[in-house]
Structure formats: structure tokens, C-alpha cells
Structure 1
Amino acid sequence: MEVVATSLIAVLGTLLGSSLTYLFQRRTALRTEQFTRSERLRQERIDAYSSYTGALANFRQGQMDYWFAKYAGRLTEGESLHEVQREAQRLRAAALEAMFRAELLTPSAALDTLGRQALKAIDGIREAHSRDELEPARDASRSAIYEFIAASRRHIPGLIDPQ
């Protein structure tokens, strides 16, 4: 009888040990998977927000180039106003593409709005008809880009917010 009791205790101990090991390993695996998923989302947000900001800066420069080509006659040799305009349009399309990617990854409607306002502010450069109108449009577009990137920091866990 003593041998049976000892064997039964050994079997139950083995089953209990195996069950506990399984539960702890499963919990660890779930935590690892959750961490990996959140880190990948974090990296994708960093990439999307920085790509969008870069595309905005490029589009802003393209709009400035177009404005100066149209109103100040600053064209390089062999370049036409139409070519400069097409480049500005290409840069706007690239900015839109980057904006859509950023919007897919952000949980914030407010950040989406800031991104769209930055794009609209850059569009305002083209609407300026004089230097006096250009300066406020330049300043507004620059401020809108900085505001977007500052706000995007709050949606990337682990980044230090300088505020």
C-alpha cells in the first residue's frame, strides 16, 4: 500500500509540475508576443510619422521652388515653369501617400487633423501672390509641420516628450 501511495504522489507531483510549467511558459510566450507586437507598432509609427514629416518638408520646398520660379523668375537653365509645377505636384502626391500611412497607424483623430492642416498650410504657399503674402504662408507651413511632429511624439511609447 505504501508503494502505491508513493507512486500516486509521484505521478500527481509530475502532473502538477508539468501543468505549472505549461502555464508559466504560455504566459511568458503571450507576454513576448504582446511586447513584439507593440514594439513593431511603435517602430512603424516612428517610420510613418517621420516619413510624413519628411514628405511635408519636401513638398514645402517644392512649393517654394514653384513660387519663386513663377513670381521671381528663378528657373535653372533648361528648366520650365511647367516642370517645376509638375515636381511640386509629385511631391504633394508623395506627401498624401505618407499622410495616409500615418493616419492608418495613429489612434488619434487630433493627430490626423494636425497632419491635414500641415498639408493645407503648405498648399497656402502656392496661393500667395506677393512676398508680403508669402512670408506668413511660409511661417504657417513651418509651424504646422513642427506642431505635427511634436504632437506625434505623444503617440509613440517610450519617446521622451520635451514638454
Structure 2
Amino acid sequence: MNTILASAVAVVGTLIGSWSTYLFQRRTVERTEAANREERLRQERLAAYSAYAGAVTDLKRALITLWFRRRRTPGDEELAAAQLESDRLGAVAESAAFRLRLVADEPVLRPLMEAISAELGEIVHAEDRQAVIAIEARFEQAVTAFIDAAAAQVR
């Protein structure tokens, strides 16, 4: 009888040990998967923030080029090429903004993105070169504020 009882206790002990090992391994796997998901999301956000900042900076450059070309020789082929390039880069920037909102729709970033867009929109209305320089400085400040806020989101 003692042997049967000892065997039963051993079996129960083995089952409890196996069950607890399973539970610990399952929790470890769940934590690892959650950490991997978080890291992938962080990487996607980082890529989206970088792509957006790069796209709006390229767009700013193209809009300034277009501004200068309009004042130099309106109607020439360079002006048409500059218009096409600014349109293309505008679409790239818009696409980057859409992706950013899908991956990281952070409320703190929305007004910063709006400030960037507002400065971009002002470039075409600039009266003279000094106005362009002032708009460009405000644009750079807006992009810096965006990058600082975005960096805080991925830390």
C-alpha cells in the first residue's frame, strides 16, 4: 500500500511540476511575443516619423525651387519641371503623413504636423526672398518640434 501511495504521490508531484513548468514557459513566451510586438511597432513608428520628416523637408526644398523659378522666368520648361516635382513631392509627403497617422496616431503630433503644413503652404505666397527665408526658419522650427515630440514617443 505504501508503494502505491508513494507512486501516486510521485505521479501527482510530476504532474504538478509539469503543469507549473508549462505555465512558466507559456508566460515567458507571451512576454517575449509582447516585447517583440512592441519593438516592431516602435521600429515602424520610427520609420514613419523619419519618412514624414524627410518627405516634408524634400517638399519644402521643391516649393522654394518653384518659388524662385516663378520669379525668374515664368512659363519656361524649368518652371514646368519644378511644378511637377513639387506636386510629386507633395503626394509623397501626404502619403507619409497618412502612414504616420496609421502607425502612430499620436494626438500630440497632429498640431505639429499642421504647423509644418501651414509653413509649407506659406512658401508659395511669399512676397520676397526675405519672406521665404523667414518661412523656412519657421518651418525648420516646426520640424524640430515634431522630431522632438516624435522622439519622445519612441523612447
TM-score range with shorter-chain normalisation? over 0.9
- Partners of 2:114 and 2:95 in 1: CA distance: 12
Partner SS, residue 149 of structure 1: helix
- Residue matched to 2:144: 146
- Residue matched to 2:128: 130
Displaced runs of 4+ in structure 1, greater than 4 A? none
**What's the CA shift string for 1:56-111, capped at 9, x where partnerless?**
11001000110111124499xx8431221121011111001001111122242121
- Partners of 1:29 and 1:107 in 2: CA distance: 29
Structure (1 or 2) with the greater helix fraction: 2
Q: Is the 8 A contact 2:64 2:132 kept in 1?
A: no
- Residue matched to 1:161: none
- Residue matched to 1:112: 110
Partner SS, residue 64 of structure 2: helix
- Partners of 2:115 and 2:132 in 1: CA distance: 17
- Residue matched to 1:121: 119
Aligned length, in residue pairs: 155
Alpha carbons of structure 1 residues 62 and 13: separation in structure 2 relative to 1, 3 Å? same
- Residue matched to 2:97: 99
Q: Is the 8 A contact 2:53 2:143 kept in 1?
A: yes
- Residue matched to 1:63: 63
**What's the CA shift string for 1:18-67, capped at 9, x where partnerless?**
11011001100100110000000000011000000000110010001101
- Residue matched to 1:160: none
Matches within 5 A, 1:67-86: 67-73=67-73, 79-86=77-84
Provide the aligned C-alpha RMSD in A. Answer: 1.8
- Relative to the length of structure 1, the TM-score reads 0.89
Q: Is the 8 A contact 1:63 1:123 kept in 2?
A: no
Partner SS, residue 153 of structure 2: coil
Comparing 138-147 with 47-56, greater Cα deviation is found at 138-147
- Residue matched to 1:25: 25
Consecutive unaligned residues in structure 1, runs of 5 or more: 158-163
- Partners of 2:73 and 2:153 in 1: CA distance: 43
Q: Is the 8 A contact 1:55 1:94 kept in 2?
A: yes
- Partners of 1:3 and 1:125 in 2: CA distance: 91
